[in-house]
Amino acid sequence: MAACDSDSSSSGGTIVYSGTGQVGSLAALVEFQGDLHAINTNQKVSILRSEEFLSADYVDSYSWIAETLHVYDDSHVMVGHSSGVDIYRSTGDLDNPVEFIAQLRHLVAYDPVIAHDGVAYYTTRDGSNEITFMDGIFVENISDILAYVPPTQEEIDEGASNVRPNSTSMAEYRELAEPIGLALREGTLYVCDAAEGLVPLLLEANPEESAEFSHVLTRQALNDVFPCKDVIATEQGLMLVGESGVIQLDVSDTGLSLVSQIPTI
């Protein structure tokens, strides 16, 4: 499934947030609370402490089973795995630096989850290039989860509730066969689909008040086809990674245009 992060704001206000799919490393290596967190070969998370030069003497680990990582505002880390996304918050306690808050559950996913401004975006897929009920793009409001601080035992004894908040489904899109890479730029969600290539989706309020979801993901037309497995949003545009190499795209009001291409050798 998903997670990772690449956050940048320019003086012009460009906001980008990226997750990466199959071939990216951003989802497997993040900085959280000053330490590097990396997914190792057995899907455990190693922590490379920042106090000294990197060495085996300064490596710790969590027992999480992880496929991807994503950091939200350096206060929460999201651990993506095959059945959901686990959300942990920083405690500020060196002996117990993180605590579990909530889980976003799904059937199957192996690619990015990204979060920005209290909203989480993630993909699910089943490994085939056919559209099935397991392929989808989902948007959930997680603001209550991010604001939640578990009560202490003393507070619980005094009557405080220890019921954990849930996310609220905002939108979903199920018309892609195999969504892989994922990035958010200027309010548009860019998805790499193994069958169709790059697909831009705009999140908009649902005009139907009685609808199941408060928002809809509306597909935006492109003037060309851009095959890809990963997409990274930057201030300048988009970087695509695929079997043919690396493609840099400019994003403007008139659409996407090719800036450069580095072919696979």
pLDDT > 90? residue 249: yes
Convert the pLDDT of each residue in 199-246 to its tens digit: 999 999 999 988 899 999 999 999 899 998 888 888 889 989 888 889
Q: Do the domain assignments include residue 233?
A: yes
> Residue 225 maps to which CATH number?
2.130.10.10
pLDDT bucket at 56, cuts 50 / 70 / 90: low
Q: Do the domain assignments include residue 103?
A: yes
Q: Report the pLDDT averaged over residues 77-98.
A: 87
Model pLDDT, residue 9: 35
Q: Other CB atoms closer than 10 Å to residue 153's CB: what's the count? A: 10
pLDDT > 60? residue 48: yes
Q: Do the domain assignments include residue 135?
A: yes
Q: Do the domain assignments include residue 93?
A: yes
What order do you get walking across the sheet with 45-48 strand by strand?
29-32, 35-39, 45-48, 59-62
pLDDT bucket at 18, cuts 50 / 70 / 90: low
Model pLDDT, residue 91: 92
Range of the domain at 32: 7-263
Q: How far is CA 234 from CA 6, 102, 184, 240, 245, in A?
A: 8, 30, 10, 11, 18
Q: Choose the weakest-confidence range: 10-14, 97-101, 126-130, 138-142.
A: 10-14
pLDDT bucket at 128, cuts 50 / 70 / 90: low
Convert the pLDDT of each residue in 158-208 to its tens digit: 999 888 888 999 999 998 888 888 889 988 999 998 889 999 999 999 999
Whole-number Å distance between alpha carbons of 42 and 181: 22
Strand partners for 215 = 205
Q: Do the domain assignments include residue 226?
A: yes
Q: How far is CA 74 from CA 49, 60, 78, 146, 167, in A?
A: 16, 19, 11, 12, 20
Q: Do the domain assignments include residue 2?
A: no
Q: How many domains does the chain have?
A: 1
pLDDT > 70? residue 16: no
Whole-number Å distance between alpha carbons of 221 and 212: 25
Which residues does 106 contact at the CB level (< 8 Å), separation at least 6? 1, 83, 84, 85, 122, 124, 138
Model pLDDT, residue 53: 55
In this structure, what token pair is assigned to residue 254?
Answer: 């008139």
Model pLDDT, residue 68: 80
Residue 141 exposure: Cα atoms within 13 Å on the Cβ side: 11
pLDDT bucket at 59, cuts 50 / 70 / 90: low
Instruction: Give me the chain's average pLDDT, please.
Output: 80
Residue 215 exposure: Cα atoms within 13 Å on the Cβ side: 20
Q: Do the domain assignments include residue 1?
A: no
Q: Do the domain assignments include residue 29?
A: yes
